[in-house]
Amino acid sequence: MSVPQEVVENAYKKKKMVKKRKIKKEAMVPYLFLLPSFLVIMGFLFYPIATVFYYSVQHYDVSAPYYNGFAGLENFVNIFTNDKHFLPSLWNSVKWVVTEVGLQLSFGMILALLLNQTFKLRGFVRAIAFIPWAISGVLASVMWSLMFNEHMGVLNDLLMKVGLISEPQAFLASTSTAFASVVIAELWRGIPFFAITLLAALQSIPSELYEAAKVDGAGRWKSFAFVTLPQLKNTIILTTLLRVVWEFNNVDLIFNLTGGGPAHSTTTLTMYIADLAVHGSNFGYGSALTVISFGILFIFAVVYLKLSRYERE
């Protein structure tokens, strides 16, 4: 007895539909595993960012809640027209970022080249060199504040012994030395970041390139200029960009060492925002400044990657 053609077709269609459902379920499995991470990112990253953008167009002052409400672009207009501290703090941020990233990259490169050499106890020396990066900002602030101390600081003691100064100096309390002092403290903490990443990149450069350069008569400087630097280009671009963003948003060390003083000489834009939030409780105005800070960094990142031709042959 033969099976009707219609029954065969229905069974085939049913089997095909079951197979499709099974494939769809299997395709959804990776997304289900990613769902918890996605929810965490949404909760701890995108939601706070969206909140900042929301409050940037609001009057939100904890100390004066009766004025709270929609502000539109008023906060942004006040920043560019009436705020006397915005441009000076932005200029301090530019000086801070250029100085810190430039010096950290230079000294980090030198340290990475030294640590890439073969010598006894190299592993131990590498561990010692990377310790500043592992120290928290608060601990580093306390340590440097003690070293810069006018009455018992080791820095004053050393400078007086070598004859560079005749009396103790209040490095963190003077407008002429406060900015440089904070730069030195952050420089000590930031050099290992470049040293670690550049050292990893140095170890990935094929030795054949140096051998070929040596055969062509290139010395150390030419090998560095025409072999090492081109091979480190992408690493330098990426680490520099990351460090620019980090230093632009740096607040812990400056806050603990000088609090933005004296006379606002170390008040960066991020420090100014933190001061408005902590002491002024003006979160709406602070959020508007944060949005402007975000825009500055976003434009810089796009232009920087475009001009540097990152990962482009």
Note whether 239 and 156 are same-domain residues.
yes
Determine the Cα–Cα distance for residues 271 and 280; give it in Å rounded to an integer: 13
Note whether 229 and 299 are same-domain residues.
yes
Each residue's pLDDT tens digit, 159-205: 898 988 888 888 898 888 999 999 999 999 999 999 999 999 999 88
Residue entry with tokens 């990259």: 105
User: Does the pLDDT of residue 64 top 70, yes or no?
Assistant: yes
Question: Does any domain span residue 52?
Answer: no
Note whether 24 and 134 are same-domain residues.
no
Contact present, 231 and 209 (Cβ < 8 Å):
yes
The mean pLDDT of the chain is 86
Question: Does any domain span residue 205?
Answer: yes
Determine the Cα–Cα distance for residues 226 and 240; give it in Å rounded to an integer: 20
Note whether 137 and 274 are same-domain residues.
yes
Phi, psi of 70 (to 5 degrees): -70, 130
Determine the Cα–Cα distance for residues 280 and 183; give it in Å rounded to an integer: 26
Question: Does any domain span residue 76?
Answer: no
Residue type, 38: F
Note whether 111 and 258 are same-domain residues.
yes
Note whether 105 and 224 are same-domain residues.
yes
Each residue's pLDDT tens digit, 50-59: 888 998 888 8
- Cα-only R_g, the chain: 28
What SS3 state is found at 70?
strand
| 168: nearest Cα among 149, 181, 142 | 149
Determine the Cα–Cα distance for residues 42 and 93; give it in Å rounded to an integer: 29
Note whether 161 and 257 are same-domain residues.
yes
Contact present, 194 and 239 (Cβ < 8 Å):
yes
Question: Does any domain span residue 64?
Answer: no
- pLDDT band for 124, please (50, 70, 90 cuts): confident
Determine the Cα–Cα distance for residues 229 and 97; give it in Å rounded to an integer: 22
Look at residue 10 in the predicted model and tell me its pLDDT: 62
Question: Does any domain span residue 162?
Answer: yes
Note whether 287 and 204 are same-domain residues.
yes
Note whether 17 and 94 are same-domain residues.
no
Total tally of structural domains belonging to the chain: 2
CATH number of the domain that residue 267 is part of? 1.10.3720.10
Note whether 100 and 249 are same-domain residues.
yes
Most confident of 47-61, 209-223, 238-252: 238-252
Note whether 35 and 107 are same-domain residues.
no
Question: Does any domain span residue 59?
Answer: no
Question: Does any domain span residue 53?
Answer: no
Question: Does any domain span residue 208?
Answer: yes
State which residues form the domain around 130.
85-308
